[in-house]
Every structure is written in C-alpha cells, then in structure tokens.
Structure 1
Amino acid sequence: MTSDAEVSDEVLASSAARGDDRAFSILVGRHKEAVYRLLRRYNGNSDEAYEAAHEAFIAAWKAIRRYDARRPFGAWLRTIAINKARDRGRRQKVRNLIFGTKSSDDFEVMNVTDRSINADDRLILDHEVSQLEKALARLPANLKEALLLTALEGFSQKQAAEILGVTSKTVETRVYRARKLLAEKLGEK
C-alpha cells in the first residue's frame, strides 16, 4: 500500500480527472502554500492572494480533465494562478478607475517573524521588506511574473517560459529588466 506522499501529482491529477475528490484535495494540500506565496508576492496583499488562490484551485478543479500529465502539475497550476491574479488585477484597475485608487498607505507589509532580531533591527528589516514589496508591486506585470517565478519560486527560465507562454529568452530578458528596475526603485543604481 502506497502512502499519499508517494503518489505523484500527475497520478493524483489523473484520478481527480476521473472524479476522485480526495486526489484533488491531496493536490490542493501539496500546492496551496506555494500558490498562495506566489500570489502574495504577485500582488502584495494577503487577502487578494487568498482570494486569487481560491479562484485558481476552483478553476483547476473545473479544468482538471484538460491537464496534460506530460507537463508538471505545479507548473500547470501556477499558470492558472497567475492568470487568476491577472484577471483580478484587471478588475481592480476598472474598480480604481470608477471609484478611485487606494493610497500607498493601504499597502500591506509582509509579516517577517524572527525572534533572534532585536526591535531596532526588526524595524529596519520591516521597512526594507516593505520597500521591496512596494517596488515589486509597481513592476509591470510581465516583468514581475518572470522575476517571481524564477528568483522567488525557483523555476528555471524554461519552466517559467512554459508557465507564461513565452520563450526562455523572453523570460531571461524580463528577469534582467525586472532586476534593473527594482534596483533603480530601491536606489541601488
């Protein structure tokens, strides 16, 4: 008897495509933190990331029969997640146009907890994290996506290219431009 941990994502996805709710629940359990983390970094807001992750898993469940097992499940799922984040971003732009935008004070700072850091160092670190997240949030979406997938999520340029539907060279260029823009925004020219 094999444990759930020994069963590959692709086998679970195949079972889910045949209607096995438990198999899909296992997939959700395996990938929910990574998807949330990606979306949290994508838009800088934990509530928005939670909602987008929820939408991504619903969309994945609805589309599971179209999943191609020759492709890594995690990459397929992240493609859906990024598309949901893009959709939510477009809807937010429309709402902002109609109702006005939020101030930069509404930007939520990631909670960094490390008990070995004293209070003064924590303030400095929190400020630096806040500045980085704000700079990330202001990057153009195509640059931000490439940077998040490669630098923070650990995907190769080829894998990121598959997720984003572009070439590896395009990902390489976008990551270079994103890093350059971040350095400029953070004053590290």
Structure 2
Amino acid sequence: MKVDLVVLDIAGTTVEEHGLVYKALADTVIAAGGDASDVGDWMGADKYEAISSMLGKSIVDVEFKDFHERLGAYYAETPPTPIPGVPEALVQLRSNGVKVALTTGFDRPIVDGLLEVLGWGEGLLDAVVCVDDVSAGRPAPYMIFKAMELTGARDVRRVLTAGDTVRDLEAGTNAGAGFVVGVLSGSQTEAELAAVPHTHLLPGVANLPALLA
C-alpha cells in the first residue's frame, strides 16, 4: 500500500543528541532530591510527565525550567547533529510525494532551538508536532493524528511511523499506522524493540526509502 505520510521521532531517530536529554532529566531530578534510576524508562515520553513521575508530584514547573536550562547548556557544549543519511532520506521521500513530519516528547521551545541549530525547516519537513501540541504524549497516538491533520493525510493505513523507542512503536500501533518501524539508531536495543508490536526493524531512517520503493 502506498504511504502518504512518514512520521518520525527526533532524538535517536533523526537527530544524534548524544543522550543529553536523559542526562539533563536525571540531573534535574537528582538536583530536586529525587531518584533518577529509572530515567531510561522515560525514553520517548513527555519530559514534563517524566520529571513529575520521578519526583512524585504533579506540578514541576520549577524543575521543568531547570531541565530546559540544563539541556540548553549541554546542547551548546555538544550540539545535536543529523544522524547520517537522514537528511538525504527525507529529501528522497518528499521527492517521491511522501510527506514528512516529526513528532517528539520535547516541548516547542526546545524543538524550535534544536531545528534552528540543525537548519531544518519547510524545505525538509511538512510538519513538526511537539508534545505540548496535544493532550497526551506517547504511547498515546495523538501526535501522529495531529501530524495527519497538519499534512492532510486521511488514511492512517497509509502512514508510516518510525522511532527508536518502545513508546514510539506503541504510539504507532495505537494509531493503527500501516507501517510501525523501529530503528536501531537510538539507545534501545533490537531485543527491546522486538518485544513490542511492530511491522519492521531497520538500522535507521536512511533505510526507509528502500523499504518504500
């Protein structure tokens, strides 16, 4: 079946950010007196929700601001870069009439700064959906549905979702996407991704044009 829209995660899927988001999360929680030993369980999740859960309280505005500041400092020190082959794959997908959207557990201020550093804009992407654009982050499917709305995609069976975390795959499955692809470019292992429903496991986003050829 033809694919109209490819929906991709950012960190670990299209962008190499060296695991700094999880370092910033852990440092924030520890500084607030919490236990960050399960920070890896929050890969792909809403970062506000992650901090709230690890600290055991619902309002964490101060801590979330601290997380932003820490992550900004880490990114300034070690700037994120595109994962090799990703920009070329996105260009090829769009040249074949496939729309490309990014979804992320980051909020809009982080994403805007990240995309500016990368130099990614309308020439490469059709839509960018952040966790604060919807009522719930992954594994809820809402960011995928929002990407469909923004790009005019009508049939979820003609949507491909791809990500490097279990939550990415769960969101794609919950959305009913025709293709739910796990990529091995992030920090979760092939065994971890293989343990949840999916249609394909690939080395990375660079392999998507060949899959859809």
TM-score (norm 2): 0.28
Q: Which structure has more RCO (C-alpha within 8 Å, separation ≥ 6)?
A: 2
Q: Which structure: larger Rg?
A: 1
TM-score (norm 1): 0.30
